[in-house]
A and B are shown apart, each in its own frame.
Chain A
């Protein structure tokens, strides 16, 4: 654990303007090319069977020591690496350098392989407070070439006319026979959850490859802006993510991980996950059902203003059929005050859900209070929908 007194300014989200000089200079030692933030590092054309690794160097050009606080790569075909110790967290004196590698592994033929390299440093110019520099971004570009097993089968590119003068086309290598694959979700799918989706094969894979995992909502789906994959770098991918396959392995990899997070959203429906190779070969398909459920209440809050108490209820209804809301107030000793107050919220829910594109809601109800508002200790809320009535959730 780093003593705070040494690094207090790392609390600051950022401490300098974008106009400040980038203290860490990025170079490719061989052949000695220097890159400015925003410039592209071109990996050239690389065959799908022979990834290219480039060694890069970050040099502290001063005027003060700096700590490398951020180093990451975005893009499924680009992978960050280093020899020995992870360079993140390294303190570089003026003139010192640190090396790392980026490997470009195109999985399909074609020119449009794009990624990003992100670098960030904290400058130790004004002790005891390091100054966090703006994050520098470098584009990563490269083209893929090679075996056609991964190129899209249904490509819009017209088939080239054979050149009669050219050499005879070699007989294509037969596509490998892929073992049976299974798509699994852990834990079982339910609304308002983050689950892990994985693709497992029942035998070691015969070759390297890559493909796409898609999700298709079916019966019951009425739109859900919160439903989708969450990639390793936190990006939201509503309907599809890419995966890679490695020869002799038995699971697909999502940016190096054996599973991908999926945010289930707040809609009762069927979801079909389909894994497909880059050439369109289907690997597996699995349908899951998110069952209709009682309203889930996430939190109950309150705001007290003279003579009025306003209750805010955050939750979700995956059936979009919420109707009656029950408020039960208690005093500061926990004794119930009067009878529960029933509010018919059918109309506001029914006018909200069709346009919301989600089963999430925040319900706000104000109550007039005859008496001292501060004598109200808590309020418990229940909501009824087509499935039943939720358990009461008590305000904090």
Chain B
């Protein structure tokens, strides 16, 4: 009731007389040839433009930022792929976590095990020793700059680890069922992974629901009351061919590269997902 009254006390007014209008930006697309292209459009009308960066090893984009790993450096670029900062980095690939908005993100370098926070103003800063996670780090995601989620595989199995960035402290760990590569981890803990010729979307809690005790008959004809749990189930997304790579294309977008090279965009709007092709502009002859 208090909140209800508070809401009535709200007063909104357009801060500017006229809105701004521009072409919608969907993110960036890393090609198998190491080119990074800006992607503009909406579901059903996307287009990956001419390459803006070449010789890219790994990349991820949010609505406002792109982290780009080349052979020996880590670049921070804006949403239009304009270079903002370049830092030395270990050789090899990188995993990235980018909050949907903001001017910083996280990078993990498998070659050294370094897990760092990276921005434009100062060199990358270590978040914690990845050895303390106790396994191979497979994917990272970040809801905001204070929190990091890591998907870790070790001998007992897979775990989702929530990390407080400020102190480099592990806040919680959740066991996960087996997944398949390639995969992507979203900032809410959702895991998306390959499943035959499609993808499975596993929201947080899906595993716990599956492990809930079965509703069995009890002695003397009495039945124990069933504990009501919200139904959280895996969702399947059909694809025209098996996925070979999944990357963060934008704030709400994933780019899925299919066997044969054709990219598909997957957009997640809450409990709904939509897919469409990402046509790629060919190089000028």
Contacts and interface: CB of A to CB of B under 8 A. Distances in A.
Interface stretch (B163-171, B216-224, B277-285): B277-285
Interface stretch (B19-27, B120-128, B141-149, B201-209): B19-27
A335 B7 CA distance: 9
Contacts of A365: 14, 16, 19-20
Contact of B136 (A8, A230, A232, A338): A8
Given A13-B59, A137-B33, A263-B44, A343 B269 contact: no
A7 B3 CA distance: 50
A17 B71 contact: yes
Contacts of A369: 10-12
Interface of B: 3-4, 6-16, 18-25, 30, 32-34, 40-48, 55-59, 71, 91-93, 95, 101, 110, 136, 138-139, 153, 158, 178-184, 193-196, 244-247, 252, 259-263, 269-270, 276-282
A337 interface: yes
B251 to A, nearest CB: 8
Contact of A9 (B7, B21, B110): B110
A343 B12 CA distance: 13
Contacts of B93: 12-15, 132
Interface string A194-234: 10000000000000000000000000000001101010111
Interface stretch (A169-177, A283-291, A346-354): A346-354
A355 B24 CA distance: 14
A226 to B, nearest CB: 4
Nearest to A1: B180
A338 B13 CA distance: 11
Given A194-B44, A337-B8, A370-B10, A332 B3 contact: yes
B10 A4 contact: no
A361 B4 CA distance: 35
Interface string A53-97: 000000000000000011010100000000000001000000000
B6 A3 contact: no
Interface stretch (A44-52, A139-147, A179-187, A309-317): A309-317
A329 B13 CA distance: 11
Contacts of B16: 365-366
A7 B245 CA distance: 12
Interface residues of A, number: 93
A258 to B, nearest CB: 14
Contacts of B246: 11
| Most B Cβ at <10 Å: residue of A10, A120, A344, A369 | A10
B30 A13 contact: yes
Nearest to B26: A314
B204 to A, nearest CB: 17
Contact of A233 (B10, B13, B262, B269): B262
A348 B19 contact: yes
A233 B25 CA distance: 23
| Most B Cβ at <10 Å: residue of A13, A132, A236, A364 | A13
Q: Which are the 8 A-B pairs with shortest beta-carbon distances?
A: A331-B7, A234-B262, A236-B279, A371-B10, A298-B42, A12-B93, A362-B24, A366-B15
A192 B42 contact: yes
A368 interface: yes
A11 B261 CA distance: 16
Contact of A299 (B7, B10, B269): B269
Given A234-B277, A348-B19, A8 B153 contact: yes
A165 interface: no
Contacts of B178: 1, 3-5
Contacts of A351: 21
B88 to A, nearest CB: 15
Contact of B11 (A88, A237, A316, A370): A370
B182 A10 contact: yes
B45 A265 contact: yes
Contact of A361 (B21, B43, B91, B92): B21
Contacts of B23: 356, 358, 360-362
Given A14-B34, A14-B58, A360 B181 contact: no
A376 interface: yes
28 contacts: A3-B178, A5-B158, A5-B178, A13-B58, A13-B59, A13-B245, A13-B247, A18-B34, A70-B32, A70-B244, A70-B259, A72-B260, A88-B259, A191-B45, A194-B277, A226-B41, A236-B281, A298-B43, A299-B42, A314-B24, A341-B13, A360-B24, A361-B22, A361-B24, A368-B13, A368-B15, A371-B7, A375-B10
Given A226-B41, A236-B281, A333-B3, A11 B47 contact: no
Contacts of B196: 1
A208 to B, nearest CB: 25
A4 B46 CA distance: 31
A337 B180 contact: no
B279 to A, nearest CB: 4
B180 A226 contact: no
A367 B22 CA distance: 18
Contacts of A88: 259
Contact of B138 (A8, A265, A337, A366): A8
| Most A Cβ at <10 Å: residue of B15, B181, B263, B278 | B181
B45 A360 contact: yes
A265 to B, nearest CB: 6
A364 B10 CA distance: 21
A90 B91 CA distance: 28
Contacts of B139: 11
Interface in A347-396: 347-349, 351-352, 356, 358, 360-372, 375-377, 396
Contacts of B24: 298, 314, 360-362
